[in-house]
Structure 1
Amino acid sequence: MTNPLSLNEVVRQTNEVVTLPGVFVRINRMVDDPGCPMQAIGEVIAQDPGLTVRLLRMANSVYYGLSHEIDTVSRAVTVIGTRRVRDLILATSVVQAFEGIPEELGSLEAFWRHSIHCGLLARHLASRVRLREPDSLFVAGLLHDIGRLVMFSRYPDYARRALEHTHRQNGATPFYLGERREFGFDHAELGGALAEHWQLPLLLVECIAHHHQPRHAQHYPQQAAIVHLANGLSTPSEEERRPEAEQEQRLDPAIWSLVGLSPELAEEARHEADAQLNEMYQLLRGDLDQA
């Protein structure tokens, strides 16, 4: 029996339970307004003490490696830039928004460790090919499996059957094809639809929606390919654990030319992401784990 709900209905139901905070919605609009002054964005952020603390922690982390401490929101906006600040706020907001959902088929810690590692790796890969705004690739990698989190938490029976179907095929069938069999759509399509509903930038929508098939991205195929590569090389999430050879088989064979990198450079980027994983996990989820 397949899920009777349409993709749009699942997005609507999810949005009733998981919504992005109003402060992010306001900042997202302000960043896209060329006439909006930096000072106004800083003033909105400063109204949320918890967000302010998380933003300053990240701004002063090895993620940026700045030589001088950033001690105010206004300085963070000035030094890092409005789009980067928007990306960091989105990253912390989404992790917070999904906290407390049931862990039906896996560990939230394992899910977020994989997602954060994928995001870090995507950022380093984007920097190596000199893409603008590599922080957007961090967020894309962080959110690439958000549709899977929705499926496992809200529709565990269908997700479990999709997983079982994949296991019966001994890994020959990608997990997202099992999802299509049970849901009528896969987690990438669901995540992309959620990102579009939240009015996130098109780059994020396409990277999330096409991270398994990056050549289907109409506007940002290279960025989607970077997330695809980062996902394939990243530490697998709990339900994806499989031999290393099978991990490599999940990569699109044409991915290296689409990304514009060699496997050797990608491996260097992976080591850099490994080194930053624990700190970034603590920055994004440390307070939640201790609660």
Structure 2
Amino acid sequence: MSTENALLTILVEKIKNDTIVLPTLPAIALKVRRAADDPNVNLHAMGDIIAQDPSLSARIIKISNSAYLGRTVKVTSVSQAVTRIGLSQIKNISTALAMEQLFVSKNELVKEYIIKIWDNTIDVVSYAMAALQVYTKTKQRHLSLDTMTLAALVHNIGVLPILTEAERHEEVFANPTFLNTAIVKLSGHIGGKIMRQWGFENDFAEVAEKWRDMNFVPEGVTFIDFVRLGAVLSGSFESQKEKVLQICIDKKIIEDLSVYDSEEFLEMRDSAKSVFA
């Protein structure tokens, strides 16, 4: 057995035995999600929770003033921002804005991977968000933009435990050949486990677990379609480009590919990306 296969076997066994270290949801995101699920919570209470985290507070104000929400009148406080965003969207938006806290490492090789993966994830997110906005505009159908944003942000979450293993066992795990293979083969399964452990809805688990698996094609238009399309448009899913585009054409998500080269689309993509800058 090659060293690469032996390392993959070790990871597979850790997954089966539930001994692989899974990331925990950032504390502030957990607080916001719990509060959002409380039927008695109000906007004032939610604002107080978000205000406990200065970084999240600044990001919430920024997103409330962005083209993401299509507003031109600026807000300057967390309470105003939460009121503008609304309780129905604040749960997913706050979680999305807190996700970057997970993409850190002290190991130089792993750090390079994490930076690359985070940057790629933001590219996928921005293209997916813009593609959804084009679709809902032309089809007058609605898939929640805040859910789409979070789904795209967690689509590759399964790579983190693999990189954690690389960091903990640098002498055997932290090499590019192994990491690339392990990410492709195992990150989907691990991603689904993370979403379920965090108590996220099935839409998120499905995206994290199945987005690479082109044998999985759900009926109707779903978030996974836009995650795959975002990955194709960002250039990170080139190997499956033709399949993804054909599925999107069949589902009438795409009617004219040239729209993705239009100035309007690129502006929507850039506006979405600026949320995470």
State the TM-score, normalizing by the size of structure 2.
0.77
Deviates more, 1:98-107 or 1:191-200: 98-107
Q: 1:20 aligns with which of 17, 25, 30?
A: 25
After superposition, the CA RMSD in angstroms is 3.1
Aligned 8 A contact 1:203 1:220 in 2: no
Whole-angstrom distance in 2 between the partners of 1:267 and 1:189: 34
Aligned 8 A contact 1:123 1:137 in 2: yes
The within-5 A match list for 1:27-42 is 27-42=32-47
Whole-angstrom distance in 1 between the partners of 2:259 and 2:208: 23
For residue 271 of structure 1, what is the aligned residue in structure 2? 266
Deviation at 1:273, TM superposition (A): 5.2
The within-5 A match list for 1:204-223 is 204-213=204-213, 216=216, 222-223=222-223
For residue 169 of structure 1, what is the aligned residue in structure 2? none
Q: Deviations over 1:11-54 (max 9, x none)?
A: 5x123xxx223332122122233332222211211222232122
Deviation at 1:10, TM superposition (A): 5.2
The within-5 A match list for 1:149-160 is 149-155=160-166, 156-157=173-174, 160=177
Aligned 8 A contact 2:103 2:115 in 1: no
Whole-angstrom distance in 2 between the partners of 1:213 and 1:247: 10
User: In the alignment, does 2:150 pair up with 1:139?
Assistant: yes
Deviation at 1:134, TM superposition (A): 0.9
For residue 261 of structure 1, what is the aligned residue in structure 2? 254
Deviation at 1:126, TM superposition (A): 1.9
Aligned 8 A contact 1:102 1:153 in 2: no
For residue 123 of structure 2, what is the aligned residue in structure 1? 117
**CA separation of 1:152/1:273 partners in 2, compared to 1, >3 Å: closer, same or farther?**
farther
Percent identity over paired residues: 21
Deviation at 1:250, TM superposition (A): 6.3
For residue 231 of structure 1, what is the aligned residue in structure 2? 231
State the TM-score, normalizing by the size of structure 1.
0.73
For residue 285 of structure 1, what is the aligned residue in structure 2? none
